């Protein structure tokens, strides 16, 4: 399927972008991450990367052109000679007739808050139609691929229209609000034409603000027409881990999907494909991750920094951090570390210690979590009597770590257990990303 290349918004107040030069030409092969062109912002010239593999075709803007944010400027297709039908422009879909219902004013577009972002998920509006705003006031919160960010209004005036709702995934460049200089007589609130519903937008008068309690944001609704609504980060992680978001839709899990929903997807009764494969039984969850992530990281630390770190030190730190994230606890975490032949030691808060230093060991401690290393033996996994604390066991077949978590319902809820092992597996798979 062809991928549209749009003019991104590289600055908060940017509504157009000046193409300085194309770094790839019509018909060139491109890979995800290749620099396609240089775009001038208000502060610097920045490279814009390809978001898909293929061939650059249907180039619609030349160097020197000033292009509106969100407009399609090229297409990445499967073949160099592909005939691409005129794609739908991602310029604002709100019609002039619809906007005529509100006072003239400044159109506020969905900004691109990350280089790879082509849509933005509106988490919450901080202003209502008819409210007065200053340029620095927070207008809304938008979820990016890394976090939720506050977006300022950018203009002084009044909210004349809100054209999208909390929970909607809106293409970058679409008009989502209008700010007028004068207080509007009949401010409007409706869905943007690009929203997840296929119904036409309907305007409604806004009653002046009273002392009635604020209403909660509307609950997420399933997408129509088979479209999957998900945050950019959830889409990226699902792609990297070989997870199919349509399985969440088929199971009836409500949209839009966020990173936390990936744990639900992994727990569905079918083994996921990709780097992390997970299945679940009554009291044990198992995961498989490549050994290369941890092995390469430890080798890099030794070669480049002269820092020798034991694999079990790294794993203990990751296990404690994953348990904190899964259970949302600030209490001390005591990890009981054992192997098939070595002594049992107790580590106090290993995730709070520097990896270059041996974490603090304590005597006769009551552990919070047990970590059992059998990776140097021919045993790849084992299931013994359930301990009085959750137990992570790490085996290896040479190319992959076989991780199992044994637990009881009294120790961890199902959601906490899934969060613990998926968090631990993710850290094992890419140590540097989680340490940074």
| Tens digit of each residue's pLDDT (9 = 90 or more) over 235-280 | 767 776 767 787 887 778 887 777 778 888 877 764 443 344 444 4
pLDDT at res. 355: 79
The fraction of the chain above a pLDDT of 90, given in percent, is 16
Q: Looking at the predicted structure, is the pLDDT value of residue 192 above 70? A: no
Q: What is the pTM of this model?
A: 0.38
pLDDT at res. 386: 55
pLDDT at res. 187: 83
Q: Looking at the predicted structure, is the pLDDT value of residue 101 above 70? A: no
* Residues 152, 115: Cα–Cα separation, whole Å: 19
Q: Looking at the predicted structure, is the pLDDT value of residue 328 above 60? A: yes
Q: Looking at the predicted structure, is the pLDDT value of residue 97 above 60? A: no
pLDDT at res. 290: 93
pLDDT at res. 167: 80
- Residue range 34-55: mean pLDDT, rounded: 81
**Which DSSP string corresponds to 196-215?**
SS-SPP---BPPPP-SSPPP
pLDDT at res. 278: 42
CA 135 to chain centre: 28
* Residues 119, 226: Cα–Cα separation, whole Å: 17
**CATH number assigned to the domain covering 96-189:** 2.40.50.100
pLDDT at res. 391: 92
* Residues 184, 417: Cα–Cα separation, whole Å: 52
Q: Which residues contact 203 (CB under 8 A, 6 or more apart)?
A: 98, 101, 188, 189, 190
pLDDT tens readout for residues 369-414: 999 999 888 887 777 655 678 999 999 988 899 999 988 887 888 8
pLDDT at res. 95: 47
Residue with the larger pLDDT of the pair 203 and 436: 436
pLDDT at res. 277: 45
pLDDT at res. 238: 75
Residue with the larger pLDDT of the pair 203 and 110: 110
The pLDDT mean for the chain works out to 76
Residue with the larger pLDDT of the pair 118 and 400: 400
Q: Looking at the predicted structure, is the pLDDT value of residue 153 above 60? A: yes
* Residues 162, 171: Cα–Cα separation, whole Å: 15
Q: Does domain 277-435 bear CATH number 3.30.450.30?
A: no
In this structure, of 19-23, 86-90, 296-300, 390-394, the range with the lowest mean pLDDT score is 86-90
- Residue range 104-112: mean pLDDT, rounded: 77
pLDDT at res. 256: 74
Q: Looking at the predicted structure, is the pLDDT value of residue 220 above 90? A: no
Q: Does domain 3-77 bear CATH number 3.30.70.330?
A: no
Residue with the larger pLDDT of the pair 174 and 165: 165
């Amino acid at each position: 399927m062809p991928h549209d290349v749009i003019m991104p918004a590289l600055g908060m107040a940017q509504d157009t972008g000046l193409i300085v030069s194309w770094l790839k030409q019509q018909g060139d092969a491109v890979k995800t991450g290749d620099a396609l062109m240089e775009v001038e912002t208000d502060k610097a010239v920045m490279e814009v990367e390809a978001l898909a593999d293929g061939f650059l075709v249907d180039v619609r803007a030349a160097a020197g052109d000033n292009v509106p944010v969100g407009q399609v400027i090229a297409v990445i297709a499967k073949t160099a000679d592909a005939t691409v039908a005129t794609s739908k422009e991602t310029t604002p879909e709100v019609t002039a007739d619809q906007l005529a219902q509100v006072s003239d004013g400044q159109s506020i577009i969905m900004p691109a808050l990350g280089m790879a972002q082509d849509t933005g998920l509106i988490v919450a509006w901080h202003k209502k139609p008819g409210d007065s705003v200053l340029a620095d006031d927070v207008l809304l919160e938008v979820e990016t691929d890394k976090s939720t960010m506050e977006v300022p209004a950018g203009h002084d005036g009044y909210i004349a229209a809100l054209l999208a709702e909390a929970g909607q995934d809106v293409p970058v460049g679409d008009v989502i609000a209008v700010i007028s200089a004068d207080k509007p007589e009949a401010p409007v609130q409706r869905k943007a034409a690009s929203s997840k519903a296929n119904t036409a937008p309907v305007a409604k008068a806004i009653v002046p603000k009273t002392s009635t309690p604020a209403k909660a944001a509307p609950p997420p609704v399933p997408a129509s027409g088979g479209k999957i609504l998900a945050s950019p980060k959830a889409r990226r992680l699902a792609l990297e881990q070989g997870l199919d978001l349509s399985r969440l839709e088929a199971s009836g899990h409500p949209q839009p999907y966020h990173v936390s929903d990936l744990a639900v997807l992994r727990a569905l009764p079918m083994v996921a494909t990709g780097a992390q494969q997970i299945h679940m039984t009554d009291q044990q969850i198992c995961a498989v991750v490549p050994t290369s992530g941890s092995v390469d990281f430890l080798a890099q630390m030794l070669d480049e920094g002269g820092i020798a770190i034991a694999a079990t030190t790294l794993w203990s730190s990751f296990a404690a951090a994953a348990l904190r994230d899964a259970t949302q606890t600030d209490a001390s975490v005591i990890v009981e570390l054992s192997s098939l032949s070595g002594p049992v030691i107790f580590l106090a808060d290993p995730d709070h210690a520097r990896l270059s230093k041996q974490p603090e060991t304590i005597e006769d401690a009551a552990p919070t979590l047990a970590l059992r290393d059998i990776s140097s033996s021919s045993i790849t996994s084992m299931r013994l009597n359930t301990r009085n604390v959750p137990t992570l066991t790490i085996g290896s077949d040479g190319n992959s770590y076989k991780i199992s978590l044994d637990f009881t319902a009294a120790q961890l809820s199902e959601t906490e257990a899934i969060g613990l092992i998926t968090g631990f597996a993710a850290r094992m798979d890419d140590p540097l990303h989680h340490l940074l």
